Structure 1
């Protein structure tokens, strides 16, 4: 780099000397450039007829001069850029960008707030969806518990033995609650009335059941059952022994259960339109 600066300074000195020589009046001595009295200075002067700046460069310095020139141009470009930034228009541009920044931040805040509200609404709607709340789809143990309670209750409250009618009353108190008590009284009124006379024996066996929904302490179960009805009819002819009549039927109903005091009880009996 020091060699390159030396060459550049020498070019400037040579150009200045040539200009003075060209403008000096005829007959007046030309001021000698310092250092021309030393031997070999002619090698440093430009050849006759050449331009002031056409000075041959020593070997090995041309590439260095070119690199120095490129570096100078890049430095000049950077300086121009800095000057452009310091101009009034550049300062105005920076000021405009600074003023836009709070606006952009406010817009981002509004967008994020809107997205958060939307996400909260969607999450709430999913929680309110009955299919999402239905733990019968996920809680296997609770589903089995509800299914067993429904099976036991249906078999107990829809079975009757004329020899022990109080067993039906105990089953009602154990397994039914609320509206289901009234519904059961209506549905089995004929059985209670004719049972002792006909020596009625009604047996209900659940063959299949499926838990449709469990929502907290409430559940709904679809039940399929077989019923066997045996009654003793008086014999015809007066002196003959009584004959037993046995009939079979299939039943389907849906029961709504509620959990009270740690026990699942039927709160509603739905015959699915069979009695309408």
Structure 2
């Protein structure tokens, strides 16, 4: 307010001085009014021709407008200064970041949706891959279970004791199913026929096995086994005791197993071309 009044008084003083100088005789010095040699005298001196103490006040409307304008400018400057102080150099203002946030979220949604579709496609292809379905590569407990079932079944169905031929029949019913029953009957037909006559004792021991694959309730196992075959030959002459004849052989076969009623059974016997 004081600055505006100061400017108005100064303009009036300059206008009065210019008018007095124009009307004064040539060569006559212009008299200075008392008190003009002090700083701020413009605010104290009335304009020429006015009575002492009659100091006009500046127009209220102009002063108010000037004050309002100055206040508005100062407010805007303060706001700009605050924004500049809060905003790091080289970074967008909070309002700009707020405007960009929906765009960033949309982009992230699109990217995540694309990744989800890609992951679903890859998972489906992996499920269709036989190597991935083969749990023998990942499920140690199930692999051990299948190996144990295959070992027990092979040793049981390929062993024979002439003194208890029904044990072989029980083993077939327990460990074989489907096509394997017919295959086993063909493979051990000679043993069943000659066993009682030769007092045959056939023992099979699995030495090694490996699970090739496990796919749900089906599995394939490669088996290595040693076989011991003992025959009791009839005595030659009445005074001689019977003689035992013992032979050894190695066997290799692949067995396909299926799980039924919670039990693994051999469904197919593959001698890998040994009998062809």
TM-score range, shorter chain: 0.5 to 0.7
Decide which moves more: 203-212 or 168-177.
203-212
Q: Does the CA-based 8 Å contact 1:153-1:175 persist in structure 2? A: yes
Give, in whole Å, the separation in 1 of the partners of 2:229 and 2:272: 22
Structure-2 change in CA distance of 1:152 and 1:80 (3 Å):
closer
Counterparts in 2 of 1:193-208, with a 5 A limit? 193-208=193-208
Structure 2, unaligned stretches of length 5 or more?
none
Deviation at 1:221, TM superposition (A): 2.0
Deviations 1:179-214 (A, max 9, x none): 111111121122122222222111001122233332
Q: Does the CA-based 8 Å contact 1:213-1:220 persist in structure 2? A: yes
Structure-2 change in CA distance of 1:215 and 1:38 (3 Å):
same
Name the SS of the counterpart of 1:164 in structure 2.
coil
Structure-2 change in CA distance of 1:89 and 1:222 (3 Å):
closer
Q: TM-score, normalised by structure 2?
A: 0.62
Q: Does the CA-based 8 Å contact 1:15-1:53 persist in structure 2? A: no
Q: Does the CA-based 8 Å contact 1:18-1:52 persist in structure 2? A: no
Decide which moves more: 131-140 or 170-179.
131-140
Q: Does the CA-based 8 Å contact 1:85-1:91 persist in structure 2? A: no
1:132 — aligned with what? 132
Give, in whole Å, the separation in 2 of the partners of 1:6 and 1:259: 108
Decide which moves more: 155-164 or 99-108.
99-108
1:5 — aligned with what? 5
Number of positions where the alignment pairs a residue of Structure 1 with one of Structure 2: 276
Structure-2 change in CA distance of 1:70 and 1:129 (3 Å):
farther
Name the SS of the counterpart of 2:93 in structure 1.
helix
Deviation at 1:265, TM superposition (A): 0.7
Deviation at 1:242, TM superposition (A): 3.4
Q: TM-score, normalised by structure 1?
A: 0.62
Name the SS of the counterpart of 1:84 in structure 2.
helix
Deviation at 1:270, TM superposition (A): 1.8
Deviation at 1:273, TM superposition (A): 2.5
Decide which moves more: 237-246 or 52-61.
52-61
Structure-2 change in CA distance of 1:111 and 1:48 (3 Å):
farther
Give, in whole Å, the separation in 2 of the partners of 1:181 and 1:57: 126
Structure-2 change in CA distance of 1:195 and 1:36 (3 Å):
same
Give, in whole Å, the separation in 2 of the partners of 1:255 and 1:106: 57
Give, in whole Å, the separation in 2 of the partners of 1:23 and 1:238: 180
